[in-house]
Structure 1
Amino acid sequence: MRFADVQLVTPSFATIAAKQVNTVIGRTERTDIPIPYGAANCTPGRLPELRPATVVAHVDTGSGQPHRVVFELPHPDPLLARLLRDECSQFLVEQTASIAFGEEWTETGTGKDAVMHAVLVVTRRGPGELELREVGATSHYDVRVADDPPGVLPAGAQRLEVPVRLTPSRCDGHSFGEAKKAFMFPVRASLDGGEVRVVIVMPPKPVQDRLIRYAQRACGLGG
């Protein structure tokens, strides 16, 4: 049996075009097939409940044209529940304020004492108080801030700036070729004293390239 394409269908995520997979399924108990999914359908003001999901596929059994089959996923699926929670938590925070790195990045020191300095900028979008609880590290970079917790955007304020210091958390040369999550900085924040939610903040690609070169120099790997 061969899968020609697969598609995730659920009210919790936007439906996108089926992915062509051309995967042959042998006589095994389990075969994992990656399935792309669309943006989460989030609800203003609250986290939505996960809705049931199906996988729609076209299957070729060797007896003619591929035919359409629908597989119901056990509900609630824990992976989809986590993805929905993570995306909609970020959505709720970003209704109140945007969180992004500023444009200026400055390197000080040399060798193992080199530090990259930047500013995390919180800009008002909607009502409410936003408290930054933590600016987290990534797989490749440690982060330090002057205050713990990093800062608060009061209900009447329009902007908050939090200076951050980045240093490499690992110096094996092989790691720089596999830096898929190196630049996904988790920022934990709460709205009006409520539940802590996570926003993933990423610098733009030119800054990512600069950070790799900085880390290579700091680690004595050239660059």
Structure 2
Amino acid sequence: MGEWRRFSLLAATVVAAATAVGCGADAGPSAEPPPGVSVSLQQNRSDVPAHKMQVAVRNDTATPVYFKDVRLLTDSFQETPPQPVDTVLGRTPRTDFPISYGAARCAPTRIPDAEPATVVAHIAVGKGPLHEVRWRIPHPDPLLRQLVNIECGEFLLRRSIDVTFGPAWTRSGRQLRGALRVDLKAGAGQVTIEDIAGTTHYDLRPASGEPKPVAVLTGTRDLPVVVTPSRCDRHAMGEAKQAYLFSLWASAGGTQTYRLIVVPDQRTQRLFESYAMEVCAERR
């Protein structure tokens, strides 16, 4: 019998045994992870707009392990349901399971430290029963710390300002000219727009061309901006995972500078795409 056939039969046995035991938290008591099986947290660029990350699993043993589901538990983010994966892993240096994570739990006046995290999964090792295991992620985890800093910084900044793309855009040569509307909320004080930046597909810069900071505001204002396509390869728009996640850095009331993600509405996104296709066609 070939090696692959032996593994397939053993994997089928694992899945059958796990299914017979049942599913969910009642499948067995929580236990330590099996030796040789470890996990880490990773995030791909395409995960960012979907608010997802990857549970990267490593199996250094020859014993297949059936994963029924996985989830992340941490006080830094709101809890989400287990993510079904229904997969048998043999020896593997890394296999990724995508999971969603909840909104960050932010403090009203500061960015909190990232809290310890645990990956919880229901697994069956070899011909063993389905049971719950927990991997404690080494603390502090750099990815979780980064995500808390980004999301809670944005949370703090949004208490002072709202930023949207204006409705009027005009093509001027190879440029698209319009504005960002910055609305200051009550008690925001003086707001400094430190910088703005484009995305994987579009460059965004102040129309004035003035050095940073872009603007110092004490009231609502439209900031004239220029948009140009940053790439023209054929499959660019088809791979546009983060094409419309524009960035703005600002501080309010003398506080620290935080980043804000600004997303144009669907109408403006279609306008940007149509404009970019026209400009790119003219370059050929």
Distance 2:224 2:185 in 1: 21
Residue 221 of structure 1: how far off its partner (Å): 6.6
After the TM superposition, which residues 8-27 of structure 1 pair with which residues of structure 2 at under 5 Å, given as runs?
8-27=72-91
Q: Highest Rg: 1 or 2? A: 2
Is 2:244 the partner of 1:183? Answer: yes
Instruction: Check if 1:209 corresponds to 2:270.
Output: yes
Distance change in 2, residues 1:88/1:28 (3 Å): same
- The one-letter amino acid paired with 1:75 is H
The letter of the residue matching 1:192 is: G
**1:163: Cα distance to partner?**
0.9
1:40 & 1:221 partners in 2: Cα distance? Answer: 44
Looking at structure 1, the residues matched to 185 and 82 of structure 2 have their Cα atoms a distance apart, in angstroms, of 35
Does the 8 A contact of 1:95 with 1:126 survive in 2?
no
Q: Residues 141-156 of structure 1: matches in 2 within 5 Å?
A: 141-145=202-206, 146=208, 147-148=210-211, 149-154=213-218
Partner residue, 1:49: 113
| Counterpart amino acid of residue 178 in structure 2 | A
Q: In 2, distance between residues paired with 1:215 and 1:11?
A: 42
- Tell me whether 1:106 sits opposite 2:158 in the alignment: no
**Does the CA-based 8 Å contact 2:248-2:261 persist in structure 1?**
yes
Give the alignment partner of residue 140 of structure 1, picking from 201, 215, 219.
Answer: 201
State the 1:186 CA deviation: 0.8
**Given that residues 173 and 221 in structure 1 are in contact (C-alpha distance below 8 angstroms), is that contact kept between their aligned partners in structure 2?**
no
* Equivalent-residue separation in structure 2 for 1:209 and 1:34 (angstroms): 29
Q: Deviations over 1:47-88 (max 9, x none)?
A: 111110101111133546521111110000000100110001
Distance 2:102 2:230 in 1: 33
In the alignment, the residues of structure 2 paired with residue 85 and residue 117 of structure 1 have an alpha-carbon distance, to the nearest angstrom, of 32
Query: Among 133, 148, 153, which residue is 1:84 paired with?
Result: 148
C-alpha distance in structure 2 between counterparts of 1:160 and 1:66, whole Å: 59
One-letter amino acid of the counterpart of residue 134, structure 1: D
Q: How many residues end up aligned between the 2 structures?
A: 215
Shift of 1:126: 3.8
SS in 2 for 1:165: strand
In structure 2, the partner of 1:122 is 182
Contact 2:246 2:263 in 1 (8 A): yes
Letter paired with 1:216: M
Q: TM-score, normalised by structure 1?
A: 0.89
CA distance 1:179–1:221, change in 2 (3 Å): farther
* Aligned partner of residue 31 in structure 1, secondary structure: strand
> Which residue of structure 1 aligns with residue 103 of structure 2?
39
Q: CA deviation at 1:141?
A: 1.1
Unmatched 5+ stretches in structure 1: none
1:3 aligns with 2:67: yes
Q: Which amino acid aligns with 2:183?
A: T
